[in-house]
Chains A and B, each alone.
Chain A
Amino acid sequence: MTPLLRVENLTRSFGGRIGCADVSFDLYPGEVLGIVGESGSGKSTLLNCMAGHLAPDSGKVIFDTRADGPTDTLTMSEPERRMLSRTDWAFVHQNPRDGLRMRISAGGNVGERLMAVGARRYGTIRSRALDWLERVEISDDRIDDRPAAFSGGMQQRLQIARNLVTGPRLVFMDEPTGGLDVSVQARLLDLIRGLVRRMGLSAIVVTHDLAVVRLLADRLMVMKDGHVIESGLTDQVLDDPQAPYTQLLVSSVLQV
């Protein structure tokens, strides 16, 4: 099987400081990879380099494109990469305000993504928007409201609908449940899990919350000071951590 995404020696530094260094891994179709580590460990830098938001100093991000097979996205032209990020990729930001247009309606937020990939008929766009609002549990009488009038959890669900409506194959998520109440978190995690399984999505989830990766991720990478210090099956890394830092991280979780 061809990996959907292959990352080779991805490195980015800021001045003399390391952002992330020599990160390599393969992600296969349908796999969910979790990346954990404390603040400043380089996990967001890594995510942004992969998603094309930040230019890495060196390395490759090879994506299995529908048209040409595995292609290094870092050497693609800007329009090609932008098309990829509209069709095959999605990016769920920690703060929904970064991923939504706050001044247009909820339906418009979802519809805009469809128009960006060529949908033109109003009726089709509206019905698909309604379908997606229902899938993320937003009632249809809110379709014309602006996201500014939504709660944090609803905004996050709307952002997920906006991202998934175009049927991407790879979703990047940066702390998708950060800043939400635990009750809202559980519902959102359940929703994400269901969507990932039904759509056969691959996802890369960056978080500092070990409970989130236990529920969502098949595989886990642990980062410290820009380096991947341990990786493996999620439950194995959490239940039998090998590296000193991972042991510290796992044993520091407060039990409720």
Chain B
Amino acid sequence: MISVDNLSKTFTLHNQGGQVIPVIAGATFSVAPGECVALTGESGAGKSTVMRILYGNYLAQGGSVRIGDVTLTEAEPREILALRRETLGYVSQFLRVVPRVPTLDVVAEPLLALGVAEAEAFERARGLLTRLRIPETLWTLSPTTFSGGEQQRVNIARGFAHRYPALLLDEPTASLDPTNRETVLRLIEEAKSAGVAIVGIFHDKGARDRVADREIDVSSFARAVA
């Protein structure tokens, strides 16, 4: 479902003396449907960079990324947008939303964008918010004022609203209490048994051991500084 071949990435800081920061080189791996792969490595090794390249948020300097039948590294913006709408989900560490949009709308939005009927989309959103224990009194409020853990759960609800065949999870359990952590791990397990290919970053070793089938150490892709 996801295949990465000889991927490389450097950052060139034009306004700081043209300094070139190599991040990764020769990254090669693939993820099958129903499989969960955890990216590991210490902070700064390039885990999030790899995730962002997989989402098309960062530009790769070399190599290729294929998600389903789309070669992300060569795709037009509108093809990437279609991919993100239909195939590729991403739960980032931080929630980024339009101010003033109610939580329920934030969660239902991926479904509405796919043309799912409003009643069905909001039903699914309500179900996920309930499962993730976001009190119903908060549903009509914008999540921008929520606590960190609540925002993260809204983000997770949004990421799981549509069953994307490929899913990227950046620290999905980071700031959650044990009960909510358990719910999120169950959501991940359900997605896996439904055949979703998952790439995740989990600092929480217990979570990683439970859901990940394989680990990939990103520091093995570190580029030797030229």
- Bound CA–CA A247/B112 (angstroms): 34
A189 touches B15 (CB 8 A): no
User: Residues 73-108 of chain B: 1 if any A CB is under 8 Å from the residue's CB, otherwise 0?
Assistant: 000011011000000000000000011110000000
Task: Say how far B72's CB is from chain A's closest CB, in angstroms.
Answer: 11
B29 contacts partner chain A, Cβ-Cβ < 8 Å = no
Are A233 and B98 within 8 A (Cβ)?
Answer: no
Could you say which residues of chain B place their CB within 8 Å of the CB of A28? Answer: 78
> Could you jot down 9 A-B contacts, CB within 8 Å?
A31-B78, A189-B98, A190-B98, A197-B113, A218-B77, A236-B57, A242-B59, A248-B14, A248-B15
CB of B13 within 8 A of CB of A190, answer no
Tally of A-B Cβ pairs under 8 angstroms: 51
Instruction: Tell me whether B52 is interfacial, beta carbon within 8 Å.
Output: yes
In the complex, the answer to whether B58 meets A239 with C-beta atoms within 8 Å is yes
> In the complex, given contacts A232-B77, A235-B57, what are 20 additional A-B residue pairs having Cβ atoms less than 8 angstroms apart?
A28-B78, A31-B78, A186-B98, A186-B100, A189-B98, A190-B98, A190-B99, A190-B100, A190-B101, A218-B77, A218-B78, A219-B77, A233-B80, A236-B57, A236-B59, A240-B57, A240-B59, A243-B14, A247-B13, A247-B14
B62 at the interface (CB under 8 A from A): no
**Interface residues of A: mostly helix, strand, loop or mixed?**
helix
Interface residues of A (CB under 8 A from B): 28, 31, 186-187, 189-190, 193, 197, 215, 218-219, 232-233, 235-236, 239-240, 242-244, 247-248, 251
Contacts of B81 in A (CB 8 A): 218, 233
Tally of contact residues, B, Cβ under 8 A: 20
In the assembled complex, the CB of A204 is this many whole angstroms from the nearest CB of chain B, namely 14
Q: Which chain B positions have C-beta within 8 A of A235? A: 57
Q: Nearest-CB distance from A245 to chain B (Å)?
A: 8
Contact with A along B107-129 (1 / 0, CB 8 A): 00000110000000000000000
A251→B15 contact, CB < 8 A = yes
Nearest CB to that of A33 among chain B residues? B77
Residues of A within 8 A of B78 (CB): 28, 31, 218-219
User: Which chain B residue has the least Cβ–Cβ distance from A198?
Assistant: B112
State the CA gap A80–B10 with chains docked (Å). 51
- B56 interfacial by beta-carbon distance below 8 Å: yes
Across-interface contacts of A240 in B (CB, < 8 A): 11, 52, 57-59
Q: Which residue of chain B has the shortest Cβ distance to A234 in the bound complex?
A: B77
The interface residues of chain A lying within 8 Å CB-to-CB of B14 are 243-244, 247-248
Is B15 a contact partner of A236 (Cβ separation < 8 A)?
A: no
Write the chain A residue with the least CB distance to B11: A240
Residue in B closest to A240 when the chains form the complex, CB atoms:
B58
Q: Which residue of B lies closest to A28 (CB)?
A: B78
Asked, given contacts A236-B58, A242-B59, A247-B15, whether A187 binds B77 with beta carbons under 8 Å apart, the answer is: no
